[in-house]
Amino acid sequence: MFDAILIDKTDDAQTVTLSDVSPDQLPEGDVLVDVAYSTLNYKDALAITGAAPVVRSFPMVPGIDFSGVVVESAHADYKPGDRVVLNGWGVGEKHWGGLAGQARVKGDWLVPLPDGISLRQAMAIGTAGYTAMLCVLALEAQGITPDKGEIVVSGAAGGVGSVATAILAARGYEVAAVTGRPAEADYLRSLGAASIVDRAELSGKGRPLAKERWAGGIDVAGSTVLANMLASIKYRGAVAACGLAAGMDLPASVAPFILRGVTLVGVDSVMCPKAERIEAWKRLASDLDLGKLDAMVTEVPLSEVIDTAPKFLEGQIRGRIVVPVAPQAD
């Protein structure tokens, strides 16, 4: 038996408990993993609080990512003792996730953890950091190099934003970090931000085209924040969009696209092909200053995950929430 966060639903009423679970209850899969660390992400908070219909079947163990060690494997790529990481693939939504002592999953969903990244660091990075790396790769693919100008990052004090800021700064980009929390300015500068932008500047109704300001952007917000960001991107710039914290709408015009040749790149981390995942994790191992992770991380034990989840929706979370499930030396 092992501990797990278990979400269930009866008569339209959702319950969330810390429960004892047997390995026999785990869903089908060809690899069994002892979970060392998981995380608490925005999507996990939505699932646990029931604020959005994230969970597709019940009962469900949330946790959209985890790191751990293979215990049993019928998959050709993995053997017992291998260190692995998982992000997305509907885990924590349609398939039991990482906020439990063990996880049984499809081996095709796993990525070998690169040398130089510990199991804990893998979850300090987590889905948020892996998504941030996908966004950086997307900007690079559009030819957005450090000499082109400043990169704006929305939600910079959050999980994706924190890692994106650190990666971009390490790559030589100047980062304009957007936050609605002025108290986080010193934290963001410690990650490498060159300037701080008040979120209010991007939150109101804007013009179809504004003054050219940034060479590129990474956006986790959507809605008016993304619309205003696009309106201020320089000629031939690009924005990588990966979130909807401010809303699913996009009250923008075609002006940035047809008058400035701006590119809007959608970044999906959930169903991203495995080859791109492996590349992203390799780049995280080489491009991210792992020494900066500690400043981003708050550890929350499994027993406190349920009480911590609402704080995400209240905008009280900085950086990354790491959940030590069964830590292992590596």
The residue among 191, 192, 43, 37 whose CA lies nearest residue 117 is 37
Residues 178 and 146 in one domain: yes
Residues 136 and 102 in one domain: no
122 domain residue, yes or no = no
Rounded to whole angstroms, what are the CA distances from 77 to 70, 109, 126, 287? Answer: 11, 11, 22, 26
| Distance of alpha carbon 131 from alpha carbon 265, whole angstroms | 13
pLDDT, tens digit, 9 for 90 and up, residues 267-322: 999 999 999 999 999 999 999 999 888 888 999 999 999 999 998 888 777 788 99
Question: What is the token pair recorded at 89?
Answer: 């693939």
Q: Share the mean pLDDT of the chain.
A: 95
Q: How confident is the model at residue 236 (pLDDT cuts 50, 70, 90)?
A: very high
| Distance of alpha carbon 134 from alpha carbon 273, whole angstroms | 11
330 domain residue, yes or no = no
Residues 102 and 75 in one domain: yes
Is the CB of residue 174 less than 8 Å from the CB of residue 189?
Answer: no
Residues 131 and 106 in one domain: no
At residue 329, the pLDDT reads: 67
Residues 262 and 133 in one domain: yes
| Distance of alpha carbon 236 from alpha carbon 132, whole angstroms | 21
CATH of the domain at 72: 3.90.180.10
Across the range 104-125, mean pLDDT stands at 96
Residues 62 and 184 in one domain: no
Domain enclosing residue 319, as ranges: 2-113+300-324
282 domain residue, yes or no = no
Please list the residues that pair with 37 across neighbouring strands.
Answer: 67, 324
Residues 183 and 232 in one domain: yes
pLDDT(92) > 80: yes
Residues 74 and 164 in one domain: no
Across the range 161-176, mean pLDDT stands at 96
At residue 313, the pLDDT reads: 82
Percent of the chain with pLDDT over 70: 99
At residue 314, the pLDDT reads: 84
Is the CB of residue 20 less than 8 Å from the CB of residue 2?
Answer: yes
CATH of the domain at 158: 3.40.50.720
Residues 6+ apart with CB under 8 A from 304: none
Percent of the chain with pLDDT over 90: 87
294 domain residue, yes or no = no
pLDDT(117) > 80: yes
Across the range 189-193, mean pLDDT stands at 96
Domain total of the chain: 2
